[in-house]
């Protein structure tokens, strides 16, 4: 085991406990070496495999194995080295650097920046401005084309499936699951969960947009921002107005009417009470 540290040209240092691991030495240590390779790409990339091997005192084969794994996971990419790096003969060297996904491994300050910006917006323009921002963000996230595709689906559950696919493409890892009297839209990841914990307007705007896209009332059951495992939204498969009409309630006018039941028929209302209504009369 060796601790390797050397300031690079920018003045930073790569200080990692690095050891070249054999196949029988466990995945935990192997993961530590891969993290060291990724950190070197972060701090000095684009960099060649030979430079990584020299910096971390690993064999070329070990470095290439870790680089290939990072590329397979979408965390690194390779490109042809510059002419300055290709001074020798033979096959042109390749340089490696982290992708945006690879940089996430090391964290960032985006959440703090976003929360600070929303705090400033709330203090200077009020809560209404924060709500307006949240609603505009959802519209930009979904996009007009995706919104149109969702609305064109021929049933509530089909629209929920379409919405789940759009959310997954936006990084929310969503799926629509069958549930009692409806569908549950489950989002297993929320890129703005830390910010939404302080500003629930983000969740509220999202729920409102879902209702508009799906054409029905929806109910948010859980959110990652509140500490739940997933963001779960219940989507009823029947339109609320259709259910009310079948129950005999019409909210289209100032007075509600109830269809007249047969003589001495027991009428059970939505409140659970039972009354007997004679033929030819409306209940008062």
Tens of pLDDT, residues 140-199: 999 999 999 999 998 888 999 999 999 999 989 999 999 888 999 999 989 899 999 999
> Residue 5's pLDDT is what?
42
User: How buried is residue 164: exposed, middle or buried, by Cβ count under 10 Å (0-12/13-18/19+)?
Assistant: buried
Cα-Cα-Cα-Cα torsion 171, 177, 183, 185, nearest 10 degrees, comes to: -20
Pairing of strands 174-179, 76-80: unpaired
Question: Into which CATH architecture does domain 110-236 fall?
Answer: Alpha-Beta Complex (3.90)
> Residue 155's pLDDT is what?
86
| Domain boundaries along the sequence of the chain | 2-104, 110-236, 240-277
Does the model's pTM come out above 0.75?
no
> Residue 20's pLDDT is what?
40
At the topology level, CATH places domain 2-104 in Arc Repressor Mutant, subunit A (1.10.10)
Q: d(Cα 205, Cα 173) in Å, to the nearest integer?
A: 19
pLDDT 10s digits, 80-90: 876 655 555 65
For residue 82, give every residue at least 6 positions away whose Cβ sits within 8 Å of its Cβ, in sequence order, or none.
Answer: 95
Tell me the DSSP string of 220-241: EEE-GGGT-SSEEEEEESS-HH
Spell out the per-residue pLDDT of the chain, length 284, in tens.
443 444 344 334 443 434 444 443 445 557 789 999 999 998 888 899 999 999 999 999 999 999 999 999 999 999 987 665 555 565 668 999 998 888 877 876 788 899 999 999 999 999 999 999 999 999 999 999 999 999 999 888 899 999 999 999 998 999 999 988 899 999 998 989 999 999 999 999 999 999 999 999 999 999 999 999 899 999 998 754 544 444 454 444 443 333 444 444 443 333 344 443 444 444 44
Question: Cβ distance 277 to 265 under 8 Å?
Answer: yes
Q: d(Cα 40, Cα 156) in Å, to the nearest integer?
A: 49
């Amino acid at each position: 085991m060796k601790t390797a540290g050397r300031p690079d040209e920018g003045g930073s240092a790569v200080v990692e406990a690095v050891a070249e691991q054999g196949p029988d030495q466990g995945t935990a240590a192997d993961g530590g070496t891969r993290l060291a390779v990724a950190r070197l790409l972060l701090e000095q990339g684009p960099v060649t495999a030979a430079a990584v091997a020299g910096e971390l005192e690993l064999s070329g084969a070990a470095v290439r194995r870790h680089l290939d794994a990072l590329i397979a996971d979408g965390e690194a990419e390779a490109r042809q080295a510059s002419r300055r790096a290709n001074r020798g003969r033979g096959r042109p060297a390749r340089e490696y650097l982290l992708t945006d996904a690879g940089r996430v491994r090391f964290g960032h300050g985006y959440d703090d920046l976003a929360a600070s910006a929303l705090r400033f917006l709330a203090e200077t323009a009020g809560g209404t401005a924060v709500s307006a921002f949240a609603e505009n963000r959802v519209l930009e996230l979904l996009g007009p084309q995706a919104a149109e595709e969702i609305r064109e689906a021929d049933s509530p559950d089909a629209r929920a499936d379409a919405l789940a696919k759009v959310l997954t493409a936006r990084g929310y890892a969503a799926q629509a699951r069958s549930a009692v009297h409806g569908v549950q839209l489950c989002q297993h990841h929320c890129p703005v969960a830390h910010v939404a914990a302080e500003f629930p307007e983000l969740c509220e705007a999202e729920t409102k947009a879902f209702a508009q896209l799906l054409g029905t009332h929806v109910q948010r059951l859980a959110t990652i921002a509140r500490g739940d495992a997933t963001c779960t939204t219940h989507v009823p498969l029947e339109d609320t107005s259709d259910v009310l009409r079948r129950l005999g309630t019409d909210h289209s006018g100032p007075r509600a009417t109830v269809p007249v039941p047969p003589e001495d028929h027991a009428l059970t209302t939505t409140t659970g009470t039972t009354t007997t209504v004679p033929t030819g009369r409306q209940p008062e």
